[in-house]
Each structure stands twice: as structure tokens, then as C-alpha cells.
Amino acid sequence: MKIGILGTRGIPNYYGGFEECAQQLAPRLVKKGHEVWVYNSHQHPYQQKTYEGVHIIHKYDPEHRIGTAGQFVYDFNCMLDARTRNFDVLLVFGYTSSSIWYWLAPAKSILVTNMDGLEWQRSKYSSRIQRFLRKAEAWAAHQSHLMIADSGAIADYLSGKYKGSLAQIAYGAEVWKNPDPAILEQYGVQPFEYHLIVARLEPENHIEALLDGVVKSKRKRITLVIGNHATPYGEKLLSRYKDSRIRFIRGIYDKREISNLRAHTALYFHGHSVGGTNPSLLEAMACRNMILAHNNIFNKEVLGEDANYFLDAHDVANAIDLLQRDERQENMIKNNLEKIKTRYSWNLITEQYEVALQQALL
């Protein structure tokens, strides 16, 4: 197959979940004998024409100049270019700024869309934008030859609302095998003497409930909050939480660094409540974390009984004060690690994508 991958800022990953998925899938698909092309923003730090056998196409992306509108321009440029490439399959990650251009998709290419989470539910969006996202979701669903859902809950929603072909394929992760506590020195923390949040700083990720819990707790452990705080909501959090136990750190995209911060945390906070299988949650499981997760259908689908759950700041404070890495918690950690190996490994995820794309071509 000749496969074009659109909808990400590019590989290697310097941004988020879709970029990590593309980075993991594309080289593996190349090793399976497929020809794979990934679209990168012209602003991407990686400017080479190939990456581990994957062809890289840089296209103009004005997001740095005009904000969110630039994503629509970038996706437009990618789709126009795709019309000249004779791809067998166009694999698009997300629909927020791309589905508006699906009418331009080359007629001979099979269009496959990873439908992401329920984007229109995100509280950061105004009602006007939420209405647009509902339409964008419908455009992607109706025009795609195949939709991909990353969780059972998302698959149930899509199959109940739309009639198109659907495959359920989760995100993946790799077991972290290179713990190095020396990396912690630059953050002024000791192994298993701090808590960790890795998330986009947005209301639906329950950052305030988590940090209110830190403030209410009696323990003196530091909580590192890793995510871009150069946003209105991020600035609100910075001004509100002056507790010396809370430290805000900009996003970290170095795999070794962030994985070691995960691997040595006493308790990993996962407040995400919108979307399906969350990449940062899988990474926490792969780093052997004791996890405190928001109690919702998406997190419970992945973690089951192998995590501790919260609904409010009181639950968070109790977890901080009372939880310890005992035999019960170690069994949870072991079970989550086994899930990564047997259910969420990138090799397995790649095989599932390969089968889904091949079947979509039939």
C-alpha cells in the first residue's frame, strides 16, 4: 500500500498523541513493506526528507502567525498535495480542521479517519465552536470510507449515530525499561517523593480538582504539573495556585525525560474526562505508575479495577494522604503493565491498522 498520513503536526513527535501515533505507526508500516508518507508542518524542527524509512512532506503552516485558523490552511495545503501523490489510502488523524476539506480528497484514494474523542464536548470551546465541531464530526463520518474509534465507548457512540464502516483500534505504548533517577535533579525532586500531572491544561482534565486536593492534603510532597501554561486558562491556574507544593513546568517532549519523571513519581494524577483511550494514561501504565484517575467511562475502560479513582478534591486529598505502594497497589501496577504488553503494544496496534487499511481497500 501507498499510505499518506495527514492531520498531525508531523514526526518525530514534538506535540501530542496523534503525532506519537504517527511516529510509531509509520516506520512499522514501512518495515511491513508499505510505502508511507507523513505530512509535517514547515515549522517542524525535523527538516529532513525521510524519517526511519518514512517519506516526509513539509507543507506551509501559518498557525504560528494567525493561530488556530492556521490549522485549516495547513490541512488544506496537505490535502491539495495529496491529490498529486496517488495514495492508495489517506489516513487522517482527527477531523477538527481537516474534514472541511474532504471534498478535495483524491477520488481514487480510500479515506480513513481516526475520529479522536468527542471533541464537541470539550468545555474550552464556545457553543458556536461546539456546533461547528458537531458538523465537522458528521462530515468526517459521512465522507470517510472507514472510521477508526480508539475505545469501545467512542465506537458505540459512532456506530449508534452514523452508518459508515467502523474499526476499533486503541492507541499504543511501550514498556519503559530505562529508569534514570539522575534526570530528576534538574526538577529538585527525589524518586517517589513527588506527584505528577502530565496534561493539556484544560478544564475537562480536572486540573483544579487535582490541585485543590493537593492544597487540602497534609503531605508535603511536591506536585509537578507538566503542560503548556501560556494560555488564558493556564495563567488562571498559575495565579490561583501559589502553594509551594505545586510547580508548573512547560510541556516536555523528550521521551527519555518525561518517561523518567513518570517512572519515579509516587502517584500519577490522570484527570482526563473527554475522549477515548488517552495516550498519556497508557504511558503512565507503561512506566509502572500508581494511578489516581478521574472516575469516568473512558478511564475505567482502560484501567478497570487497576487504579484509584476520584470525583472531587476531597477524594484527591485522601488519596495523597492515605495511599501507599502496598501489595494491592503493586498488583494493579503489574496488571496495567500486562495490558500494555498484550493489548496496547505498538506492534499490535500497527497490525490492527494494517488489517483495517487493507480491508478498506477491498
Q: What is the pLDDT of residue 5?
A: 98
Q: What is the pLDDT of residue 274?
A: 82
Q: What is the pLDDT of residue 326?
A: 97
Q: What is the pLDDT of residue 225?
A: 98
Q: What is the pLDDT of residue 16?
A: 83
Q: What is the pLDDT of residue 28?
A: 98
Q: What is the pLDDT of residue 17?
A: 87
Q: At 43, list the grid cell.
A: 515549522
Shared domain check, 191 and 95: no
Shared domain check, 45 and 138: yes
Tens of pLDDT, residue by residue over 218-275, are 999 999 999 999 889 999 999 999 999 999 999 888 889 999 999 999 999 999 988 7
Shared domain check, 94 and 200: no
Q: What is the pLDDT of residue 220?
A: 95
Q: What is the pLDDT of residue 74?
A: 98
| Among 58, 95, 98, CA closest to 76 | 98
Rounded distance between C-alpha atoms, residue 274 and residue 151, angstroms: 12
Shared domain check, 194 and 52: no
Rounded distance between C-alpha atoms, residue 336 and residue 301, angstroms: 12
Shared domain check, 76 and 49: yes
Shared domain check, 277 and 256: yes
Shared domain check, 111 and 246: no
For residue 294, what is the domain's CATH number? 3.40.50.2000
Helices (H), the chain: 17-31, 63-66, 69-82, 127-143, 152-161, 207-216, 232-240, 255-263, 279-286, 297-303, 313-322, 327-342, 346-361
Tens of pLDDT, residue by residue over 262-275, are 999 999 999 998 87
Strands 246-249 and 166-168: unpaired
| Among 271, 325, 259, CA closest to 299 | 271
Is residue 6 within 8 Å of residue 98, measured between CB atoms? yes
Is residue 83 within 8 Å of residue 103, measured between CB atoms? no
Kindly calculate the radius of gyration of the chain based on its CA atoms and give it in whole angstroms.
20
Q: What is the DSSP letter of 267?
A: E
Q: What is the pLDDT of residue 181?
A: 95
Report the SS3 class of residue 346. helix
Structural domain total, the chain: 2
Q: What is the pLDDT of residue 259?
A: 96
498520513: which residue's cell?
5
Shared domain check, 217 and 244: yes
| Among 32, 83, 96, CA closest to 57 | 83
Q: What is the pLDDT of residue 122?
A: 72
Q: What's the mean pLDDT when you consider all of the chain?
A: 95
Rounded distance between C-alpha atoms, residue 319 and residue 12, angstroms: 36
Q: What is the pLDDT of residue 322?
A: 97
Q: What is the DSSP letter of 173?
A: B
497534609: which residue's cell?
218
Percent of the chain residues topping a pLDDT of 90? 88
Shared domain check, 106 and 131: yes
Is residue 299 within 8 Å of residue 281, measured between CB atoms? yes
Is residue 249 within 8 Å of residue 225, measured between CB atoms? yes
Shared domain check, 209 and 334: yes
Q: Quick one: three-class SS letters along 38-86?
A: EEEECCCCCCCCEECCEEEEEECCCHHHHCCHHHHHHHHHHHHHHCCCC
Cβ neighbours, 10 Å, residue 163:
8
Shared domain check, 193 and 121: no
Q: What is the pLDDT of residue 77?
A: 98
Domain of 90 in residue numbering reads as 2-172+345-361
Which segments of the chain have a pLDDT < 70?
121, 123
Shared domain check, 227 and 163: no
